[in-house]
């Protein structure tokens, strides 16, 4: 029996090279070694507003990208998350053993909402400490009324941010845990930015097992070192993101040759002109990583190739490498009909539904529900 893996991508934004190199490319290789379950996670997508027509189009597009990239429906199960109602059902049950503190500490939630309870707590602790120690400087510079006003502002800002966020965005790590645990997943191939969510899935599995008896397998993460963090073309300190405000952050898998060349030409570089692979040149290092991963050349080989050459020559060649890589992929995507994709997605759902149903029967029996 092969170990089972599960992973998925939201049908929102434009899938880009970071998604391919950090996830999909890896899935293609893993499907020969593992029993693979790959999902288009549309329930996750609606944690932020979506246009219904665009959501349908993107769901089909992502499934096409899966197939064009080499995910084989004969080897792997490919389906749409909302086609298996047990995902939502298990998420609700897991909510009942999830603590608010489990979710407020999630880094991605803090990044998206600007809500960080630890910062608020530290601010109040500093004021309390200053007051207890009769800090003269604190008393003179701020006074009780100023301290009260600052504390009031902190509470106001927290309430404003927290109350403007939907419950789905706050709670989606629990749905992600349900996705994983529903299929007795043993290995979860993820980027390092998702490790905290895998830890939550592990914690909830252990918590449920301890309270109700052995029910869930405790999943482990699998992180591919190379390509796991392709950074933004406009900011090498932040990961390439399909939800980025600027389209110059990423190379979409569906970008035209003209757009690709324009984006690479505008990609930020570091000071100097040498093509070197060093940590103190993060923008150039990121571009060399992309070149290396798409050309099968080592970073050292690329450095040697461009001795005596400047950024202009390097960027021109990098654009060629990306275009030559994406053209055949795009041709495969365009050759797959919507009807073919829908049939594969429905077949995939039928394949995994018995697994999901059996797991929910087990969960309900453990809880004391009448099955």
**Catalytic positions, written as ranges:** 112, 239, 242
Q: Are 86 and 94 in contact (CB under 8 A)?
A: no
Which residue, 202, 207, 200, 219, is CA-closest to 102?
200
Q: What does the angle CA 22 – CA 25 – CA 29 come to, to the nearest 5 degrees?
A: 125
Separation between Cα atoms, residue 320 and residue 314, nearest integer Å: 10
Tokens 């009780």, residue located: 144
Separation between Cα atoms, residue 37 and residue 26, nearest integer Å: 13
Q: Are 275 and 306 in contact (CB under 8 A)?
A: yes
Give the C-alpha distances (Å, rounded to integers) separating 115 from 69, 110, 120, 147, 172.
37, 5, 9, 21, 16
DSSP line for 298-313: -HHHHHHHTTT--HHH
Give the C-alpha distances (Å, rounded to integers) separating 107 from 104, 170, 242, 244, 246.
8, 11, 18, 17, 22
Separation between Cα atoms, residue 78 and residue 36, nearest integer Å: 9
């Amino acid at each position: 029996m092969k170990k089972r893996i599960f992973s998925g991508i939201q049908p929102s934004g434009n899938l880009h090279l970071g998604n391919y190199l950090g996830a999909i490319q890896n899935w293609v290789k893993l499907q020969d070694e593992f029993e693979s379950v790959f999902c288009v996670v549309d329930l996750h997508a609606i944690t932020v507003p979506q246009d219904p027509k665009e959501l349908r189009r993107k769901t089909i597009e992502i499934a096409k990208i899966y197939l064009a990239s080499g995910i084989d429906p004969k080897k792997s199960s490919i389906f749409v998350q909302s086609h298996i109602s047990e995902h939502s059902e298990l998420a609700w049950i897991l909510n009942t053993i999830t603590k608010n503190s489990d979710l407020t500490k999630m880094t991605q939630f803090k990044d998206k909402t600007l809500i960080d309870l630890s910062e608020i707590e530290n601010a109040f602790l500093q004021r309390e400490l200053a007051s207890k120690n009769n800090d003269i400087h604190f008393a003179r510079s701020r006074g009780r009324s100023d301290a009260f006003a600052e504390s009031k502002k902190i509470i106001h800002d927290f309430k404003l941010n927290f109350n403007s966020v939907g419950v789905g965005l706050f709670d989606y790590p629990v749905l992600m845990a349900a996705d994983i645990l529903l299929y007795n997943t043993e290995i979860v191939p993820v980027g390092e930015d998702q490790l905290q969510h895998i830890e939550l899935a592990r914690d909830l599995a252990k918590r449920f097992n301890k309270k109700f008896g052995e029910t869930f397998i405790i999943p482990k993460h699998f992180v591919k070192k190379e390509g796991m963090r392709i950074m933004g073309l406009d900011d090498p300190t932040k990961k390439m993101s399909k939800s980025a405000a600027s389209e110059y952050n990423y190379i979409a898998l569906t970008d035209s040759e003209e757009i690709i060349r324009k984006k690479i030409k505008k990609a930020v570089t570091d000071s100097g002109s040498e093509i070197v692979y060093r940590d103190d040149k993060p923008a150039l290092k990121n571009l060399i990583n992309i070149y290396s991963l798409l050309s099968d050349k080592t970073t050292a080989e690329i450095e040697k190739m461009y001795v005596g050459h400047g950024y202009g020559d390097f960027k021109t060649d990098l654009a060629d490498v990306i275009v030559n890589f994406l053209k055949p992929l795009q041709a495969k995507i365009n050759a797959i009909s919507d009807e073919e994709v829908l049939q594969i997605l429905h077949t995939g759902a039928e394949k995994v539904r018995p697994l999901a149903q059996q797991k929910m029967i087990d969960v309900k029996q453990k809880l004391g529900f009448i099955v």
